Amino acid sequence: MRIETIAAQAGHQIDAQTGAVAPPIHVSTTFERDADGEYSRGFVYSRSGNPTRSSLEAVLADLEGGQCAAAFSSGSAASAAVFQALSAGDHIVAPNDCYHGTTTLLRNVFSRWGLETTFTDVTEPERVKEAMRPNTRLIWVETPSNPMLKVTDIRRTAQIAHDAGAVCVCDNTWATPINQTPLALGADLVVHATTKYLGGHSDVMGGAVVSATDDDFFGRVREVQRTYGAVPSPFDCWLVNRGIRTLHLRMKAHGENAMSIARFLSDHPRVEAVHYPGLKDHPGHSIASKQMSGFGGMMSLQVRGGRDEAMNVAAKVKLFTRATSLGGTESLIEHRASIEGLQSKTPQNLLRLSIGIENAADLIEDLEQALEN
């Protein structure tokens, strides 16, 4: 089945008893045991398994072309479960330009649990090779990256991981499976913050790990999910499933709007730089063109001047909302350095845009008036 059909029919199964077309939400925490002591219907207790969650997991696996998936209560819980599947003494290679929360998890939390991490420019295969150690078990990829929209060659990086007996994990939150399927390019696992495009309406937190094969590594991720219990509620699973039904249409609109806005911004005299992989002069454009079928709705721009000039533009927008996060139908603008805090290496004049699915001309007019002196 093609991806649009998988998305449009996410969780769709006619209820045999009632004929209900929309899927039910199974809120039960516990499930009946058979007279002979078995659980022939497959569910025991909702932390370890729930029908609404299973339905979402099946859709996520299908979308990414994986064998299995585990849903979590946030994207960060999903990333943490991948790290928890490693053992003390293992080494990770991670991008130096990556979602701030992932960096914080590795730096502040997992360092105390005996995981070592080398942060490097994962977009450069030579840097990745240099960072590898005999105990390297995992290479983390995030492409396009946050907030500089750097592009990593997934196929090449997965090869480096496999040559060293390590796994390659790709955070596919920004691209979504509509624009990029890392498992088809050789990655072993995909991580998602379903909070973003998959949910798609800025109203639900969630995360997922999808695995190419139902192997030992995924078994450990599944064990972490069931025993630590950072599981999403049935209602949250249902909301993500509902969001997925229009994912392909939304991604198309996000991408078209983003392309128009990136072109407008690149021609604007008050804009020093625009980071969007769809632009021909973006350093990652040729790799992105090969491994992505669309460039997505995320971009960042650098305003001429410094922090004050950037803050001033953010202060003047009317249609864009000043807020963190991304992937909703509404456009957001954010001064990234100030949300990332003191350790942030993000340029002070950078604004990150999550382009929504409004009319592109309205968004452009809003940015135009905000960029006026």
Ligand X SMILES: *Cc1c(COP(=O)(O)O)cnc(C)c1O
Catalytic residues: 47, 99, 171, 196
Strand partners, 334: 352
Out of 91, 137, 150, 196, which residue is the one contacting ligand X (CB under 6 A)?
Answer: 196
Question: Which 99-158 positions form the footprint of ligand X (CB under 6 A)?
Answer: 99, 101-102, 142, 146
Here the tokens at position 109 are: 């939390």
Residue 180 binds ligand X, judged by CB under 6 A: no
The SS3 call for residue 29 is coil
Count residues near ligand X (CB under 6 A).
Answer: 16
Report the DSSP beta bridge partners of residue 352: 300, 334
Give yes or no for residue 354 binding ligand X (CB under 6 A): no
Q: Which stretch binds ligand X (CB under 6 A): 55-63, 96-104, 231-239, 314-322?
A: 96-104
294 binds ligand X (CB under 6 A): no
Shortest distance in whole angstroms from residue 324 CB to ligand X: 9
Place of tokens 């998988």: 6
Q: Does 74 bind ligand X (CB under 6 A)?
A: yes
Q: Which two tokens stand for residue 51?
A: 């029908």
Give the DSSP H/E element, type plus range, for residue 252: helix 247-266
Among 157, 195, 225, 241, binds ligand X (CB under 6 A): 195
Contact pick of 122, 193, 288, 364 for ligand X (by CB under 6 A): 193
Token pair 């456009």 in the structure block, residue:
331
- Beta strands 207-211 and 189-193 are antiparallel
Can you tell me the distance from the alpha carbon of 291 to that of 182, in angstroms, rounded to the nearest whole number?
8
Cα dihedral: 61, 94, 331, 372 (round 10): -160
Cβ-proximal residue to ligand X, closest one: 75
E strand or H helix at 141, and its extent?
Answer: strand 136-142
Judged by CB under 6 A, the stretch of 54-62, 69-77, 111-119, 348-356 that binds ligand X is 69-77
38/36 Cα distance (integer angstroms): 6
173 belongs to the binding site for ligand X (CB under 6 A): yes
Using CB under 6 A as the binding rule, the residues of this chain from 206 to 235 that contact ligand X are 207
Query: Does 236 interact with ligand X (rule: CB under 6 A)?
Result: no
List residues binding ligand X (CB under 6 A): 74-76, 99, 101-102, 142, 146, 171, 173-174, 193, 195-196, 205, 207
